[in-house]
Copies of this chain bind each other. A is one copy, B any other.
Amino acid sequence: MDEFGLIAALARRLPKPGADVLLGIGDDAAVVRTGGAPFVVTTDTMVEGVHFLETTLTDYNLGYKSLAVSVSDIAAMGGQPKFAVVSIAIPSGWAPERLERVYDGFREVTERFGCHVIGGDVVSTSGPLVITTTVIGEAANPIPRSGARPGDILFVTGRLGGSSAGLQVMQEATSVSDISKACLIERHQRPEPRVAIGSLCATAGVHALNDVSDGLASELNEIAAASGVRCVIDADKLPVLPEVVELARGVQRDPLSYALYGGEDYELVGAASNRAFATLLAGASAMNVPITRIGRVDEGDGVVMRRPDGQMEVLDPKGYNHFKRDDA
């Protein structure tokens, strides 16, 4: 099968696009129509051996996750994902069936989040698999990370730390129960882009928003730097996933380290006025997604965390000096 045949075969695995796709896969370029509103564009690349391993991500979930993380970027703008193009460099010897599983993973993202794959490229490589996803979304009121203001409430969606904990339980022997293990692995392989909450944030007038791709400490540092403010969070407010607490206890590590530095949780973290936060809470209650107030925005710079004993700790983006395994 040649490349066109392969792409055509793969395209048939995808849901049929709606009327706003004037021309989809199969020509030099895809043609899409918007209503004149701003649209948002994001791109992400995952490399085997760097961002994932064959042993930690199924082909299906590689498709799901690679597209979901770009959808999450759109959610973090308060946008609605609309269109995606995907490019895959596959190692020689990869069977076409494996690529089909990857596209099946795309399909799930398309169906659940309304993001149609309108084009792509499949090429071969002598190296590891490389997958690039580009997503275009509509956003009537895009939310930058630079809009946080002193006095704002800092909040985060969902529960943190699961993704890095999931990676750990796949790679090391741990004492967590099978059911907790499955939960953590799910968090690592199948992040949930918070598209509906992101939209709600845009409607509510949230000032700044990021998705947690690199760990909460890193995202808060980005918001602080881009907004010219200081983020102050409370350690005992951080919503750490219970299964992460279970794992952390077994490996004698601070559970917060997973939330602050683990990354890839793809929850949303933002800054909002009291009024916008109230609107957000009211709207989110119907979605069964917890939203937690974790701190406030002050004048100044950087990110600090208040420990339960009152001690203030500066959080830099990666935290190499702050959290170490107790047994190290």
Contacts and interface: CB of A to CB of B under 8 A. Distances in A.
Interface residues of A, number: 63
Contacts of A226: 26-27
Nearest to A127: B127
B43 A134 contact: yes
Interface stretch (A44-52, A173-181, A320-328): A44-52
Question: Which of A44, A76, A123, A125 has its CB near the most chain B CB atoms (within 10 A)?
Answer: A125
A51 B123 contact: yes
The interface residues of chain A, by DSSP majority, are classed as strand
Number of copies: 2
A252 interface: no
Interface stretch (A31-39, A96-104, A289-297): A31-39
A119 to B, nearest CB: 6
B41 A30 contact: yes
Interface stretch (A79-87, A151-159, A163-171, A230-238): A79-87
21 contacts: A23-B142, A23-B144, A28-B211, A29-B42, A29-B73, A29-B74, A31-B39, A31-B40, A35-B36, A42-B119, A43-B119, A43-B134, A44-B121, A45-B87, A45-B123, A45-B132, A49-B126, A50-B125, A50-B126, A87-B132, A121-B132
Interface of A: 4, 22-23, 26-36, 38-47, 49-51, 73-74, 76-77, 79, 83, 85-89, 118-121, 123-128, 130, 132, 134-137, 139, 142, 144-146, 210-211, 222, 226
